[in-house]
Amino acid sequence: MLRGRALASLVLIAACWLSSGSAPLTDAVAGARDPADFVRDYVTARARLEDGRGAPPVGDEGNARAERLGAPRAELLGGPYYIHPPPALLPVLPLALLPWHAAALAWALLSLAALVWLAWSLACLWAPEAPPAAWRFGGLAALLPLWPPALHCLEKGQWSIGLAALLAAGYRALERERPARAGALFAAAASVKATPVVLLGLLAARDRRAAAVMALGVAALAACATAVGGSAPWRAFFADAPHDIVVWATWLANTVSLQGVFARLWSAGPYTRPLADAPALSRLAFLATGGVLLAAAVAVGVRRRRAGGLDACGAAAWMALPVLLNPLGWTHVAVMLLVPLTIALRDGGPRTRAVAVLALAALSVPRQSLIAWSGPMPIAPVPGLLLGLHAFAALALYLALLADGGGKSSLPPGRAYQ
């Protein structure tokens, strides 16, 4: 019976994974040569090296510089050229010393290396009592680069693979009762993208030393970024972020964000046809939903800690929040959900494991399939809900983890490493 269910689960995941045939792979191979998102990091880092301190390039100024460097133009659509937190520029500065195509290749190789690191951490999390079996680690390392969200990340030259590797290694360190390492790894993730800062709540519930290290790490990296670029990049980041969300919220690849779902229902734009043009309503709905999700995690965490400690499923629910609270979650962001998926399958009850399997299947549907199923642009409200399939899967996984009160404590696996 169990073998039959496992086989059915694998067939479902494979069907979703392969629903667009070879398109995700061919798109990734073609895009990795001139990754459309990494070019913004590269050009901004090159501007910092050539011009010294200052704000990132603005609009067509960035595209003009990209053309001089032999890099492709970025599609702006009225949004800012560069929108990452200033510390995200620090690891790109060495690559900006290289010619464009060499830098793009180096970034792709670093992303593949991060996938191997991610595979190792996931294999260790799955069976923490002993070193991972070679077949499990090797299988993960071989399959992850072919998973549609990972292929999307490689195609665009995005950060999600590196973020997922940092978060997985940090969570593993937390289970192994290595708070300083966990805090440092989470700090690195929160310095590259803003939403992982919410994991301070998880660390505060599990180990205050880890939370202190994370806070100090974020502050130290922010100070380093300020020393390199000055205060102008920070002013630009906080000024441009709201406008960037407005411009891109309804974009077809914004499949993992609840804000994308709300925006397609209540925000007019060139990609979708909403029920009504009420952008303030879509933003309010997202903020209210995010507040409820965060409050639920805090409430469940407090209750379970008083009952004897935050269990593994409760901790894994926190790991889904950096995705759920992100207003712009392209398909590649789903890579960051691999940790809560692993914990749900490892420690969850039957219902939680079933939800995890369905969520993994939904997250394996390539964005190419979702776009094709939704029909031509501008997409109507009901078909547009298909573009939120990944967001709905992330939400279902989060709720299942929070509701699972039978998950075992995440402390014993950590002690097995001592």
Q: Tell me, what DSSP letter sits at residue 82?
A: -
Q: What is the mean pLDDT of residues 116-132?
A: 94
Whether 83 shows a pLDDT value over 80: the answer reads: yes
Q: What pLDDT is recorded for position 1?
A: 57
C-alpha to C-alpha distance for 154 and 151, rounded to whole angstroms: 5
Across the range 156-175, mean pLDDT stands at 97
| Mean pLDDT across 158-176 | 97
At residue 268, the pLDDT reads 86
Angle, in degrees to the nearest 10, between helices 350-363 and 389-403 = 160
Average pLDDT over residues 276-285: 93
CB-CB neighbours of 134 under 10 Å: 9
Per-residue burial over 195-233, b if 16 or more Cβ lie within 10 Å, else e, is bbbbbbbbbbbbbeebbbbbbebbeebbeebbebbbeeb
- Burial degree of 239 (CB within 10 A; 0-12, 13-18, 19+): exposed
- Residue 382: CB atoms within 10 A of its CB come to 10
Which residue range(s) make up the domain with 110?
2-415
Give the torsion sign (CA, 23, 24, 28, 29).
negative
Of 305 and 416, more confident? 305
Confidence of residue 301 (pLDDT cuts 50, 70, 90): confident
Lowest mean pLDDT among 70-84, 103-117, 177-191: 70-84
Q: Determine the Cα angle at 321 with ends 25 and 88, to 5°.
A: 65
Query: CA 140, CA 150: separation in Å to the nearest integer?
Result: 12
* Confidence grade of residue 306 (pLDDT, cut at 50, 70, 90): confident
Q: Which pLDDT belongs to residue 373?
A: 95
pLDDT reported for residue 324: 98
What would the two tokens of residue 66 be?
A: 């990209």
The answer, yes or no, to whether residue 226 has pLDDT greater than 60, is yes
Categorize the per-residue pLDDT at 302 as very low, low, confident or very high, splitting at 50, 70 and 90.
confident
Q: How would residue 305 be classed by pLDDT, with cut points 50, 70 and 90?
A: confident
Quick one: which of 203, 135, 207 has its CA closest to 167? 203
In the structure, what pLDDT confidence band is assigned to residue 405 with cuts at 50, 70 and 90? Answer: low
CB atoms under 10 Å from CB of 2, counted, come to 6
Is 312 strand, coil or helix? helix
pLDDT tens per residue across span 355-374? 999 999 999 999 999 999 99
Question: In the structure, what pLDDT confidence band is assigned to residue 354 with cuts at 50, 70 and 90?
Answer: very high
Query: Above 50 in pLDDT, residue 407?
Result: no
| Average pLDDT, rounded, for the chain | 93
pLDDT score recorded for residue 205: 87
- Structure-block tokens of residue 120: 């190792």
> What is this structure's pTM?
0.94
**pLDDT in the model for residue 2:** 61
More confident residue, 81 or 309: 81
Name the 3-class secondary structure at 272: strand
CB 92 within 8 A of CB 56: no
Helix (H) or strand (E) run with residue 318 in it: helix 312-324
Mean pLDDT, to the nearest integer, of 312-322? 95
C-alpha to C-alpha distance for 41 and 267, rounded to whole angstroms? 29
The CA–CA distances, whole Å, from 391 to 53, 91, 143, 209, 360 equal 38, 29, 23, 32, 12
**Terminus-to-terminus CA distance in the chain, angstroms?**
37
3-state secondary structure of 185: helix
Percent of the chain with pLDDT over 70: 96
Residues 6+ apart with CB under 8 A from 382: none
CB 381 within 8 A of CB 275: yes
Is the Cβ–Cβ distance between 258 and 395 less than 8 Å? Answer: yes
CB 59 within 8 A of CB 76: yes
More confident call, 84 vs 406: 84
Number of domains in the chain: 1
126 by DSSP, 3-state: which? helix
DSSP conformation class of 409: B
**244-271 average pLDDT score:** 93
134-162: average pLDDT: 97
